[in-house]
Amino acid sequence: MFKKIYITILILAFCHSCAFAINEIKEGTTLSMQDCIDIAIEKSPQVQIYKQYIEMQEAVVGQSKSSYFPSLGASVGYEFTNSGSRYRSSHNNNSSAKIALNQLIYSFGKVFSQVKMQKFYKIAAEYDLKSAILDTANSVKSAYYAVLAAKANVDIQKANVHVNERQYSRTKAFFEEGLVSRIDLVNQEVYLSDAQINLINAETTYQNTIIALNNAMYTPDAPNYNIENTETFNFKNNYAEINLLNIANTTSNEDGTIKTKDAVLTTQVEKTDLLENYKFEKYPYTLQESIEKAYKNRPDLLSIEATKDAVNEALKYTKKSYFPDLTGSVGYNWNNNNYYSTNGISVGAYLSTNNLNIMETKFKIKESKAQLEVANNNVELVKQSIYFDVQEAYVNMLQLEKNIPLMQTKVRQTLENYELADARYEVGLGNFIELQDAKENYNNAQRDYVQTIYKYNVALVDLKTAMGEI
């Protein structure tokens, strides 16, 4: 009873949410993650298929209930016979009409078991719909976070190009003043080219993630649109200003050489404050609590349990096949021929079996018992699968959760190291290789940090999906 109430609330809530979902994506609109999920659920062929399965099963439940209602039968007929012999011939015209109302009075629980069986199958179909919705939401969320991660990586690579452009300008100024060798200038040109190539690759990856998100929403022809950041993936572009002093206005040392700091970009190292407003809260549940939630919520488990209940009712129905049906009938008959006309009302009650074959019924019961045992084993199999799904997702999430503060620290440390190397190189105390290593370490740390956040969010989505939560 409680399962039925829960399912009804679930379906009503789902239909209500879809009623206010965005139907079409408009050019330039900004979508939240929930908007994308709603679009995907509305357009998903898989979800629509399971909706039809529910309608089909509702019809089957109605058919099984039809035995509680009377059946009406009627017939009319005309018969002409002509017979003859050597001595005489005759013919006869016979007209007849009959109408009857039949009602099942008592079936010893067979109809009740049949109705319950079909209701359980309907409940299973409703859980299958929820499972399809859960899978659809999982795909959208994963694709959504992939877009955010790719966008963040584009910003990182843009900042890296800016850094290398600044480095190139400074190195070129140093080279023209004879402060560095040509190999440093050529190497910086290579680093700038690599940065530009990495930016192109990052932008290509970003476009591919957009395609994947459109595919997850079943909108391959979607126009250009934006997506919102999430609380667990909130980043911000915040690049420092780049100002290059006019070399013609620089001052000289007493010996006539150019002052180094006057011939370079007078700016601090560019800071890419990605995930500046990142809200990181540790997962609140233990592994055992997560597994228990999964056992309560996973729609595939609840579906197989409902199927098991249906198979159990099928067994009860088969066992009751030994019992007869008690039916009642009331009818009216009319008959007319060449000699007389008759009519009358008939009322009767009948106790009957429908071609009962004891041996066949015995083996049907045996088959139903085996099917019930299979259903029980399927329930246990799904439970074990859920246990390992949750366990694996939990371990992955926990590892990434522990990595996040370490990655934050690494970004700060590599930034500080880069700032120091930049300052040393600016005044001629550091060398080119030291500066480039520091720059690459900072850039890689930012990229790895974004990837860690992305993987953590996907792991969290997988864990919630394994627990049966959207």
Between 276 and 232, residue with greater pLDDT: 232
Q: What angle do CA 134, 138, 143 make, to 5 degrees?
A: 150
Q: Which fold has domain 2-70+108-323+356-466?
A: Outer membrane efflux proteins (OEP) (1.20.1600)
Q: What confidence tens digit (pLDDT) does each residue in 167-181 have?
A: 888 788 878 777 777
Higher pLDDT, 428 or 150: 150
pLDDT band at residue 430 using 50, 70 and 90 as cut-offs: confident
Instruction: List the one residue out of 405, 461, 466, 455 whose CA is nearest residue 148.
Output: 455
* Overall average pLDDT of the 240-244 stretch: 23
Q: Which residues have a Cβ under 8 Å from the Cβ of 77 and sit 6 or more positions away?
A: 94, 95, 96, 97
Tokens of 344: 């009358």
pLDDT at 278 (0 to 100):
55
List the beta bridge partners of residue 332: 99, 345
CB atoms within 10 A of CB 161: 17
| Rounded Cα–Cα distance for residues 377 and 366 (Å) | 17
Tokens of residue 434, six digits: 């030291």
- For 456: left if phi > 0, alpha if psi spans -120 to 50, otherwise beta; the answer is alpha
Q: d(Cα 406, Cα 404) in Å, to the nearest integer? A: 5
CA distance 465 to 19: 24
Residue type, 407: M
pLDDT of residue 438: 86
* pLDDT surpasses 50 at 66: yes
pLDDT band at 12 (very low <50, low <70, confident <90, very high): very low
Of 136, 131, 119, 121, the C-alpha closest to 10 is 131
pLDDT confidence of residue 139: 93
pLDDT category at 276 given cuts 50, 70, 90 is low
**pLDDT value, residue 48:** 93
- How far is residue 210's CA from residue 233's CA, in Å, rounded to a whole number? 17
Burial class (CB in 10 A: 0-12, 13-18, 19+), 262: middle
Beta strands in 183-320 (DSSP E): 226-227
Average pLDDT, the chain: 80
**pLDDT 10s digits, 196-211:** 898 999 889 988 998 8
Average pLDDT for residues 417-431, to the nearest whole number?
79
Interval 302-326: pLDDT, tens: 999 999 999 999 999 888 888 888 8
Residue 165 tokens, joined: 């452009």
Q: Among 7-16, 68-77, 161-170, whose mean pLDDT is lowest?
A: 7-16
**8 Å CB contact between 450 and 149:** yes
Using CA atoms, how far apart are residues 414 and 407, in angstroms rounded to an integer?
10
Q: Given this model, what pLDDT does residue 24 score? A: 76
Q: For residue 358, give every residue at least 6 positions away whose Cβ sits within 8 Å of its Cβ, in sequence order, or none.
A: 322
The answer on pLDDT for 429 being more than 80 is no
The Cβ of residue 435 has, within 10 Å, a number of other Cβ atoms equal to: 23
How high is the pLDDT of residue 297? 93
The radius of gyration of the chain's CA atoms, rounded to the nearest angstrom, is: 39
- Residue 169's pLDDT is 84
Query: Residue 107: phi, psi to the nearest 5?
Result: -120, 15
| Residue-level pLDDT at 323 | 87
Burial class of residue 363, CB neighbours in 10 A (0-12, 13-18, 19+):
exposed
Give the pLDDT band (50/70/90) at residue 218.
very high
What local confidence, expressed as pLDDT, does residue 382 receive? Answer: 94
Q: What angle do CA 426, 427, 431 make, to 5 degrees?
A: 70
Question: Among 199, 225, 41, 52, which Cα is nearest to 125's?
Answer: 52
Res. 251 pLDDT band, cuts 50 70 90: very low
pLDDT digits (tens, 9 = 90+) for 73-112: 888 988 877 766 566 666 778 888 899 898 888 888 888 9
* Burial (CB count within 10 angstroms: exposed 0-12, middle 13-18, buried 19+), residue 295: middle
pLDDT at residue number 10: 47
Three-state DSSP at 23 gives coil
Q: Summarize the confidence of residues 281-305 as an average pLDDT.
A: 91
Give the pTM. 0.76
CA dihedral 170, 173, 177, 181 (to 10 degrees): 60
Pick from 159-163, 241-245, 297-301, 337-341: least confident: 241-245
For the cut 50, the answer to whether the pLDDT of residue 268 exceeds it is no
pLDDT digits (tens, 9 = 90+) for 356-385: 888 888 898 998 999 999 999 999 999 999
- Token match 């290509």: residue? 204
**What confidence tier does 183 reach under pLDDT thresholds 50, 70, 90?**
confident
Domain borders along the chain are 2-70+108-323+356-466
Q: What is the pLDDT of residue 168?
A: 83
DSSP 240: P
Give residue 232's pLDDT.
Answer: 72
Question: pLDDT grade, residue 54 (50/70/90)?
Answer: very high
Q: Name the H helices within 177-261.
A: 182-216
The pLDDT of residue 467 is 92
Q: Which residues are bridge partners to 72 per DSSP?
A: 101
**Average pLDDT rounded to a whole number, residues 432-447:** 85
